[in-house]
Amino acid sequence: MSIKQIRAFVAVASAENFSKAAKMLNVSTSALSLTVQELERRVGQKLFERTTRTVTLTEAGATFLPVADRLLGEFARAIDDVARYPDMPRQTVRIGASQHFMNLVIPHVLKGLTVEHPNISIRLWEGTTHDMVSRIAGGELDFGITTLWSSIGSVDSTPLIDDRLGVLTSAYSALAEADEPLSWRDLRGQTMVSFGIGAGTRERVERDPHIGGMISQSLHEASSLAGLSALIESGAGSAITAALTAENFNEKRFRFIPLANPVAWRTNYLVTPKDKARSPLVFDAITALTTQLERFDNRPHMRAHSPDWIAVH
């Protein structure tokens, strides 16, 4: 599929007439018609209903139109960026983060970074621990913030902040009535929900020999904080999570209760490519990150590691 074909499709859809669209594009009507036919063969769908008087979008064409508009817009912006590149040199920082960090910490990091580096280009990626480590090891990300169950030889990892594990439940559930930390054994028989396989906190719990066998297997799974929120608030179950993640949930609708017997913590790590020197931009981004983490130190159920040591490590 070519930009020429997409541009032809959008022009005909806008003009609702091949002759008018051809004038807009400065091509012959026959050439435009041929281009649209090539596109229809490429996608295997008829995009226009044609009569001697009217040209209207088919259902497939109407579905494709907003996508085509977006593609043309992105193409135009890409060409513009290339044209302006000599006058606007950009440095790129590529950051991966788990969802709770993306919501709570990364916006504050980027706010200062974009002021200090006005020509910065930012690439954010959100995903599971396994996917993130793979992307960092492969050089696709400059650094990431995630949980690790054990050290991984293909990347360097430095502890950032610890947060205590607990149960996140609906404010209207029976568990929410607890005034003291719950025991892991109190969760036996409770319906549990969780993130999918590959999520760091889930792996932290399931692979821990002291607590992994004390809770029921999750009945429902979600791939995002929004999905987890929907499951818990609907009454489908409660989730094992950690204090920092629980910060994303409204205190009036949800309740986070720390777990004891044993007390267990999750460690969030700064993960970087193995033995790779950091650019000044990446160094500034990590420094901004560690400064933001000071906000969470000494909060209930949280403890930050030394930010000065992290920034220069």
- pLDDT tens profile 133-164: 899 998 899 999 988 877 777 899 999 999 99
Domain boundary among 85, 112, 137: 85
Residues 235 and 275 in one domain: yes
Domain boundary among 22, 50, 85: 85
> What are the b/e assignments for 287-307, b being 16+ CB within 10 Å?
bbbbebbeebeeeebbebbeb
Domain boundary among 85, 116, 132: 85
Q: How far apart are CA 204 and CA 266, in angstroms?
A: 7
Domain total in the chain: 2
Mean pLDDT to the nearest integer, 226-252:
92
Looking at this protein, which amino acid is placed at residue 311? A
Confidence (pLDDT) at 306 = 67
Q: Which residues touch 176 (CB under 8 Å, ≥6 apart)?
A: 169, 170, 255, 257
Phi and psi at residue 48, in whole multiples of 5°?
A: -130, 145
Q: Is the pTM of this model over 0.85?
A: no
Confidence (pLDDT) at 290 = 87
Confidence (pLDDT) at 237 = 92
Q: How far apart are CA 37 and CA 31, in angstroms?
A: 10
Residues 60 and 20 in one domain: yes
pLDDT in tens, 164-200: 999 999 999 999 999 899 999 888 888 989 988 777 7
Residues 146 and 13 in one domain: no
Residue 271 has pLDDT above 50, yes or no: yes
Confidence (pLDDT) at 311 = 47
Residues 200 and 311 in one domain: yes
pLDDT in tens, 58-79: 899 888 888 888 888 888 888 8
Residues 129 and 255 in one domain: yes
Confidence (pLDDT) at 120 = 87
Residues 157 and 235 in one domain: yes
Confidence (pLDDT) at 88 = 52
Confidence (pLDDT) at 313 = 44
Confidence (pLDDT) at 35 = 92
Residues 157 and 242 in one domain: yes
The overall average pLDDT reported for the chain is 86
Q: How confident is the model at residue 106 (pLDDT cuts 50, 70, 90)?
A: very high
